């Protein structure tokens, strides 16, 4: 039994590792984009690009990532049961279009404050923000379609093309082909637009596979995918996404509110120590939720052991990784930061170490969060995230320490708080009755959707 559990955990580790290679390549190119931008723009210009990217990333993660996840899992589940996916596509498209339209209306109505207060009065950056967010709405829909159809090769190609397109604009400035802040910032628009070129390949492949095949059976009464399906889970994921972006991207925006754009650029670079590993860990999270959900749904003791071993394996790998990064930062952190981002800023070794330890806690929180979702505890997990995010905001509003040190200490403290809360949830002796998804409830549907992803 123990041997079976160990083998299952190792299989998960291999699949997560292979998926990390593709997503990690896109992460390296994103890191290179900011490195080139930092070297070739002034402190203020680079800081304004950082503020722009932080605002865009917060918006697209909060607005569109929950729809991507819901769409991908719904397509996988309905195909597993030989059901048509047309209703899922229509509902997801309706939600996505509604969110995009609502964003456009609010962004246009608040153009003055956004352009003048957030983007230093730069009209070009304002329109880049609006256009890129709308373009990402289509990109995230494409990601959900590809993932749901298990076209992971094309999914990886979309992410790689997106990051390559973005980096190319910063590279053009570095080579002297183009110049200026606007040229670098235009890469934020080009990334989602050019990445969508891979989506027609998925539709073409689907057309080939379904040509000549028997028509899917008519959906049974009550099985049609509607806006109500997955509502509870989607709401919990939305809260988690908002909290996640608060911890990762609110720091530069808070510093920008009290200091200048250059200061926001500095703290963004420091937080890259935490943000860059998350790109690779995204692959682990993508594999971990369906893997754990499938194990949790089994009644065998071997699968229960494999569940625990998978979490233990992931947490152990994170601890080793964080320890290695901490040692490197201790020895040569400030020098390496200047190599990566230029000598416009002087980096503080203590601050870098604070963020490094916070990164370890944060990555561990991601693994424990997937365990909570697999157990049907999305609402309790969301409560843990919201607690940590609110604490982070309150801490950064207190008149203590310097602006930079508040963000660094706050990130470490709140990441540790989040990890502790999720660990307590994980170590619960038993799943409470109200946490177990009822048959045909939105939470139970989500559990089946997540399990379908592992097939």
CB 277 within 8 A of CB 360: no
3-state DSSP call for residue 199? helix
State the Cα–Cα distance between residues 118 and 256, nearest whole angstrom. 8
Burial string for 249-272 (b: 16+ CB within 10 Å, else e) reads bbbbbbbbeebebbbbbbbbbbbb
* One pLDDT digit (tens) per residue for the chain, 455 residues: 445 545 544 554 454 454 555 566 777 788 788 888 888 888 888 888 888 888 888 888 888 877 776 676 667 666 656 666 676 677 778 888 888 999 999 999 999 999 988 888 899 999 999 999 999 888 888 877 776 666 667 777 787 888 888 999 999 999 989 888 899 999 998 888 887 777 676 555 554 444 444 444 444 444 454 544 455 666 777 788 888 888 887 888 788 777 777 787 888 888 877 776 766 666 566 556 556 666 665 556 666 677 778 788 888 888 888 888 889 889 888 888 888 777 777 888 888 899 889 989 998 998 888 888 777 777 888 899 999 999 999 998 888 888 888 888 999 999 999 999 999 988 874 444 444 444 444 444 444 444 333 33
Q: What is the pLDDT of residue 220?
A: 47
Looking at the whole model, is its pTM more than 0.95?
Answer: no
**pLDDT of res. 434:** 43
Q: Give the DSSP H or E segment for 281.
A: helix 261-297
The pLDDT of residue 80: 58
All residues at 6 or more sequence positions from 25 whose CB lies less than 8 Å from its CB, including other chains: 160, 163
Residue 279, pLDDT score: 62
Distances (CA, A) of 6 to 3, 12, 294, 318, 369: 5, 10, 16, 18, 22
Between CA 248 and CA 271 the distance in angstroms is 8
266 vs 321: CA distance, rounded Å:
24
Q: Supply the DSSP symbol for 401.
A: S
- What pLDDT shows up at residue 111? 92
38-87, pLDDT tens digit by residue?
Answer: 888 888 888 888 888 888 888 888 888 777 766 766 676 666 566 666 76
Q: Give residue 160's pLDDT.
A: 80
């Amino acid at each position: 039994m123990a041997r079976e559990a160990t083998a299952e955990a190792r299989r998960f580790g291999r699949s997560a590792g292979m998926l990390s290679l593709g997503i990690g390549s896109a992460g390296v190119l994103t890191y290179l984009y900011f490195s080139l931008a930092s070297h070739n723009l002034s402190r203020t210009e680079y800081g304004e690009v950082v503020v722009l990217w932080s605002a865009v990333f917060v918006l697209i993660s909060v607005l569109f990532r929950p729809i991507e996840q819901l769409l991908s899992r719904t397509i996988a589940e309905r195909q597993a049961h030989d059901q048509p996916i047309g209703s899922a596509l229509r509902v997801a498209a309706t939600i996505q279009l509604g969110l995009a339209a609502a964003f456009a209306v609010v962004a246009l109505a608040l153009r003055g404050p956004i352009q003048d207060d957030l983007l230093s009065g730069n009209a070009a950056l304002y329109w880049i923000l609006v256009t890129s967010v709308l373009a990402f709405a289509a990109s995230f829909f494409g990601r959900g379609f590809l993932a749901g159809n298990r076209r992971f090769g094309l999914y990886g190609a979309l992410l790689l093309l997106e990051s390559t397109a973005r980096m190319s604009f910063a590279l053009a400035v570095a080579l002297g082909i183009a110049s200026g802040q606007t040229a670098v910032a235009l890469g934020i628009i080009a990334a989602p637009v050019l990445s969508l070129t891979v989506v027609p390949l998925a539709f073409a492949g689907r057309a080939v596979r379904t040509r000549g095949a028997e028509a899917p059976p008519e959906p049974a009464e009550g099985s049609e995918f509607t806006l109500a399906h997955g509502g509870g889970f989607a709401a919990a994921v939305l809260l988690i996404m908002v909290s996640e972006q608060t911890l990762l991207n609110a720091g530069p925006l808070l510093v920008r509110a009290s200091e200048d754009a250059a200061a926001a650029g500095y703290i963004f670079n420091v937080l890259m120590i935490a943000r860059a590993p998350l790109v690779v860990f995204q692959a682990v999270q993508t594999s971990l939720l369906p893997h754990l959900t499938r194990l949790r749904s089994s009644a065998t003791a071997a699968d229960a052991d494999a569940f625990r071993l998978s979490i233990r394996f992931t947490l152990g790998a994170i601890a080793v990784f964080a320890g290695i990064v901490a040692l490197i930062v201790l020895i040569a952190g400030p020098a390496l930061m200047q190599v990566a981002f230029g000598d416009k800023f002087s980096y503080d070794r203590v601050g870098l170490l604070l963020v490094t330890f916070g990164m370890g806690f944060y990555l561990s929180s991601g693994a424990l969060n997937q365990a909570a979702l697999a157990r049907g505890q999305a609402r309790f997990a969301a409560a843990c995230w919201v607690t940590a995010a609110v604490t982070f905001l309150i801490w950064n509003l207190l008149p203590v320490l310097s602006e930079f040190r508040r963000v660094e200490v706050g990130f470490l403290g709140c990441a540790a708080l989040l990890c502790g809360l999720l660990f307590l949830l994980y170590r619960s002796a038993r799943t409470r009755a109200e946490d177990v998804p009822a048959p045909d409830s939105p939470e139970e549907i989500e559990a089946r959707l997540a399990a379908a992803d592992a097939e």
